[in-house]
Amino acid sequence: MSLKDLGGLFKQAQEMQSKMAEVQRDLAEKRVEVSTGGGMVKITANGVNEILSIHIDDELINMNDREVLEDLIMGAVNEVHRKVKDLAQEEMTRFTGGVKIPGLFS
């Protein structure tokens, strides 16, 4: 491999790294919201899997049923993580043109 080829490869790697950073910034701006229990628990996260808000309906709190509350929160958290993962995979598919790259958002 010549120095010219190596330089071209390095440039392509830098461009890809720059595009990946752009995808990450875009994902950080996207929002995913889920609810469980007929809307009694709502969780919003961004595309990089940060929980932005959790809302628990007063009626659910007044029920004084810790187990139900825990189950609904756990279900909402798991669902929001699944949706964020799907969103990230969607964005990466657009970025890579459908080529699966091992280790990226797997």
- Asked whether residue 61 is domain-assigned, the answer is yes
- Asked whether residue 45 is domain-assigned, the answer is yes
- Look at residue 44 and give its three-state secondary structure: strand
Q: Per-residue pLDDT for the chain (106 aa), expressed as one digit of tens each?
A: 677 787 888 888 888 888 888 889 999 999 999 999 999 999 999 999 999 999 999 999 999 999 999 999 999 999 999 999 999 999 888 877 766 666 655 5
- Asked whether residue 43 is domain-assigned, the answer is yes
How confident is the model at residue 53, as a pLDDT?
98
- Asked whether residue 106 is domain-assigned, the answer is no
The backbone torsions φ and ψ at residue 56, rounded to the nearest 5 degrees and listed phi first, read -120, 120
Range of the domain at 59: 3-96
User: What's the whole-model pTM score?
Assistant: 0.76
- Asked whether residue 9 is domain-assigned, the answer is yes
- CATH code of 71's domain: 3.30.1310.10
The span from the CA of 64 to the CA of 23, in Å, is: 43
Q: What is the number of domains present in the chain?
A: 1
